[in-house]
Structure 1
């Protein structure tokens, strides 16, 4: 499968490597696709990996991973071109973390809205699935616990099923589907709590797990 990754930070690069290592073809989108750091990423990722602009990555992928900073959501959608998202599964990893008052962060969306909902509103023809935003990038591929399940939400049942298959490829036991994209606010609200727990534990490798 061809996967377009929008965002070249740690999350985008980690998931890009993960898709490549499981036999997928990846184009990583960035404002600076020819930068030295992305040359290093291409060398490390090996396989079918390339870099390009946001527009090139969005048009390339049969599935898209949306992984910019939360504050850059509007800019990246504009640079990628809304038409390039139409009809595609869009895995949304973003968080609305607000560090304006320092640590620990709050949410610049508040609790009445979320980036997941905003992205779906801006891209009505896309199939947005909120995923990966509640775990550290060190756990996204091979989480280290064979019974761990990812919390996801989205409006399209088939899209969530496909994302769950991807999670299983990556070493997760599966997904816990908490409902439509309006539930993204609660997944995003977990992240300021996770930051507080990570600080208390002195471990950015910590993650939440649902026991059942």
Structure 2
């Protein structure tokens, strides 16, 4: 399985690096693959279209305002498995641009026509993606989507990073997962908890 990571910021670089460490074949899709600023990435680099063309799985780890254009740059995506780690955040983390009646995840599915989209890796910070282990157990990674095979792959990729994955239902559940991400963000920054905490599903 080859994974194309589109976006080389904190989230993309952390997830890509984690999969490299877990033995997966990873390539980063960036606009200037020869740029020195990408030399520290833990896997080869190519243009977004080149990376997507050779990948079985595509991770979207782009800033929300750049996401539609990034998807448009990838070429045909019909049948591809797309992991959507984005959140439709307003500037200064002031809220969400979409919610309740639709979601960023559903828009990604529209823009990536024919792709099998799974919303995942959007509900916590990159520190937890690097290390989801806590004294009480692994952090929970919620995900949602409409394709059962795609969700099984997403589940395995989250598990490979050390998360406890949990299926949250169809892609419309992104309308809940994106506000859930905003809760983590507000607790981390506005409420002063910092980044070293995570949500965990506990069972009786």
CA distance in 2 between partners of 1:80 and 1:205 (Å): 34
TM-score, length of structure 2 as denominator length = 0.92
Moved over 3 A (4+): none
CA distance in 1 between partners of 2:84 and 2:58 (Å): 9
Q: Is the 8 A contact 2:132 2:138 kept in 1?
A: no
Question: How far did residue 181 of structure 1 move?
Answer: 0.7
> Is 1:148 aligned with 2:139?
yes
Q: Is the 8 A contact 2:30 2:47 kept in 1?
A: yes
Alignment of 1:1-212 (within 5 A): 1-41=1-41, 45=42, 49-81=43-75, 83=76, 85-99=77-91, 102=92, 104-145=93-134, 146-173=137-164, 175-199=165-189, 200-212=191-203
CA distance in 2 between partners of 1:36 and 1:204 (Å): 29
- Deviation digits for residues 38-74 of structure 1, max 9, x if unmatched? 1122xxx2xxx21011101111211111111111111
Question: Where do 5+ consecutive residues of structure 2 fail to align?
Answer: none
> Hey, which of these two has a bigger chunk of helix by percent?
1
Q: Is the 8 A contact 1:105 1:192 kept in 2?
A: no
